[in-house]
Amino acid sequence: MAEQLRLMAVHAHPDDESSKGAATMAKYVAEGVDVLVVTCTGGERGSVLNPKLDRPDVLADIANIRRAEMDAARAILGVRQEWLGFVDSGLPEGDPLPPLPDGCFAREDAQFAARRLVEIVRRHRPHVILTYDEDGGYPHPDHIMTHTISSIAFDAAGDPEQFPEAGAPWQPAKLYYHHTFTRMKFEALHAGMLAEGLESPYGEMLDNWFSDPTRDRGPRVTTRVPCAEHFATRDDALRAHATQVDPDGFWFRAPLEVQARHWPTEDYELAKAAIETRLPETDLFAGLR
């Protein structure tokens, strides 16, 4: 293609862009691709997951703090970013689960919410869109809603009869789902840590988190993007979301060089395509370059 390639990643909350596909985005930014992150909510109901920052003053100003963290992460990754403008739904807990709050993202009408995303797609004209699968990557109501409106927007953005007030039609070429957590990946990292004489942080995850085999999305992966040289950038962006990530926690326990040797890719499922494709792939822009 003669024109600049464009990538859009649609995420539910600030910090999701740094824990899912961040090294991929940094790789493409380095190659000159225009990368835009769309963040659906402000993360207003997110818990403070860093024990060093779990203080009343942080909780009282969490919305502004999470916006500042997003700005820092965006700058580290080298991407552009827009807010879709919806309110975080929170993660309901209990048995039975309590109802979601009035006015939150997950309770919005899906067509209404998708219209805002269609307007951004038509304005920025991405060739490729990244988002979550139908389970949201994990069943957070905002992640599931993000999947829903991304799927609607992918189909509607090129149709002049849908949302005609949202700008001139633009059909993205490909829609991908992130598959960050797969059994094959964590088995490889676990074995790699042990083979190099290191204590693995992944044993308990493999014993418990994947006890339900239907949650493993590994068989659905179509596209593995080599991006190990950008793992450090990914981790720096994730640490920028200081209220959401414990810098001494799980995410950072495996040395980057071990990760690069044993699983040097970030992995995706090609969910929809408006162009001919040949699978498997190592490039989100395969068929477009």
13 is in an annotated binding site: yes
**Residue 192 domain-assigned (yes or no):** no
**Residue 60 domain-assigned (yes or no):** yes
Per-residue pLDDT of 148-157, as tens digits, reads: 999 999 999 9
Residue keyed to tokens 């993000």: 146
B/e letters for 237-269, b = 16+ CB within 10 Å, e = fewer, are: bbbbbbbbbeeeeebeebeeebbbebbebbbbb
143 is in an annotated binding site: yes
Q: Which residues of the chain have pLDDT under 50?
A: none
* 8-state DSSP, 281: B
**Residue 120 domain-assigned (yes or no):** yes
- 101, burial (CB in 10 Å: exposed 0-12, middle 13-18, buried 19+): middle
pLDDT at 3: 83
Task: State both tokens at 157.
Answer: 């953005």
pLDDT at 254: 93
**Residue 172 domain-assigned (yes or no):** yes
Beta bridge partners of 268: 178, 223
**Residue 214 domain-assigned (yes or no):** no
Q: Which of 270, 273, 279, 288 is nearest to 176 (CA)?
A: 270
* 8-state DSSP, 176: E
Instruction: Output the pTM of the full model.
Output: 0.95
**Residue 261 domain-assigned (yes or no):** no
For residue 28, the surrounding DSSP H or E stretch is: helix 22-30
pLDDT at 249: 87
pLDDT at 208: 79
Q: Who contacts 208 (Cβ-Cβ below 8 Å, separation ≥6)?
A: none
Give the structural domain span for 119.
6-181+219-256+266-273
Task: State both tokens at 182.
Answer: 């797969």
Residue 249 exposure: Cα atoms within 13 Å on the Cβ side: 14
16 is in an annotated binding site: yes
pLDDT at 59: 87
Give CA–CA dist 238/26, Å, rounded. Answer: 13
pLDDT at 1: 64
**Residue 125 domain-assigned (yes or no):** yes
- Report angle CA 9, 209, 91 to the nearest 5 degrees: 55
Count: domains in the chain: 1
SS3 80: strand
**Residue 202 domain-assigned (yes or no):** no
pLDDT at 97: 83
Residue 112's CATH number: 3.40.50.10320
pLDDT at 133: 97
Strands 265-273 and 174-178: antiparallel
